[in-house]
Amino acid sequence: MTDPILEVDDLNVYYGKSHALKGVSLSIDEGEIYGVIGPNGAGKTTMLNAIAGFVEYEGSIRYDGADLARVSPQQIVRDGLIYCTEDRDLFPYFSVHENLLMGAQFRDDRDAVQDDLAMVYELFPRLDERREQEAETMSGGEQQMLAVGRALMSDPDVLMLDEPTLGLAPVIIQDISDALERLSEQGLTILLAEQNSTFALRHAERLSLIETGEIELAGTSAEFHDNEYVREAYVGVH
């Protein structure tokens, strides 16, 4: 049996007069990969920002039983809900290694942190080869790996990924893809927001389609595959 680890209920976000999210609800079970697809500007990032505590919202977001409205963004991170943004927000003049250490800066168990470092370097050998390189000087794909690696250093229970494949070469996407599969096998819960519907459909067990701030469709991967509208509007292009 699985419990929802993250529950979003009737989420509304306003930017001034514009209504960016209109009553979005979804629930994510422990251990699954949940995909959120939709066009650019549909509200995927806004939803993730609300969950991470970066924007004001109405409605409720519950993580591991707690109402996140009452938890500060840094406590949300400490509780294992880690957000990997579309901009990645790496520390540009820190080395790969320092960026990874920052991911674990709030953790006290040094041995576990060392184990996680070894795990990240093993997961992304490209990072291992570039330990001392400054994040700023790396390619987009390497930066994406570093962003995921830094998130993993925070020992996540739930990992939120925003557009992890955006602008990346197919060979790099494959590397990210393999990494996600391995992490998922190890029991990590992943919330994946993607414009790249093919990528999301390949990994997610369940998905939602967001358009103009509303969930238009929700269901299993198989249901999405068979859906005429999704196939024509989203999958065909890729």
Partner 1 sequence: MLGDIGTLVLQGTMISAVYALIAIGFTMIFGVGGTLNLAHGALIMGGAYVFALLSRSVHAAVAFPVTIAVIALLSWGLYQVLVRWVEENVVITFLATVVVAIASTEFVLYQFGGSPIGMTLISGAVNLEPYGINARTRYVQFVGFVVSWLAIGLLWYYITHTDDGRSVLAASMSERGAQLTGVDLHAVRSKTWLIAGALAGTAGVILGSTGGATPLMWLNPLALAFIIVVIGGIGSIKGSVIAAYVIGFLEQFTVTFVGHGFRGILSLVVLVVFLLYMPQGLYGREFAHD
Q: Binding residues for partner 1, per CB under 8 A?
A: 52, 54, 72-74, 77-78, 82-85, 87, 89-94, 98, 101-106, 150-151, 154
* Of 101 and 233, CB closest to partner 1: 101
188 vs 203: CA distance, rounded Å:
13
How many residues make up the chain in this entry? Answer: 238
* Of 72 and 114, CB closest to partner 1: 72
Bridge partners (DSSP) listed for residue 117: none
216 vs 218: CA distance, rounded Å:
7
What minimum distance in Å lies between the beta carbon of 1 and partner 1?
A: 31
What minimum distance in Å lies between the beta carbon of 237 and partner 1?
A: 30
* Of 77 and 215, CB closest to partner 1: 77
Taken in order 177, 179, 184, 185, is the CA torsion positive or negative?
A: positive
What minimum distance in Å lies between the beta carbon of 236 and partner 1?
A: 34
What minimum distance in Å lies between the beta carbon of 232 and partner 1?
A: 36
Bridge partners (DSSP) listed for residue 35: 192, 207
84 vs 40: CA distance, rounded Å:
17
Bridge partners (DSSP) listed for residue 28: 6
The residue type found at 103 is: G
* Of 93 and 229, CB closest to partner 1: 93
What minimum distance in Å lies between the beta carbon of 119 and partner 1?
A: 17
* Of 134 and 216, CB closest to partner 1: 134
What minimum distance in Å lies between the beta carbon of 95 and partner 1?
A: 11
* Of 87 and 185, CB closest to partner 1: 87
Report which DSSP code applies to 133.
Answer: S
Bridge partners (DSSP) listed for residue 192: 35, 161
Burial class (CB in 10 A: 0-12, 13-18, 19+), 54: middle
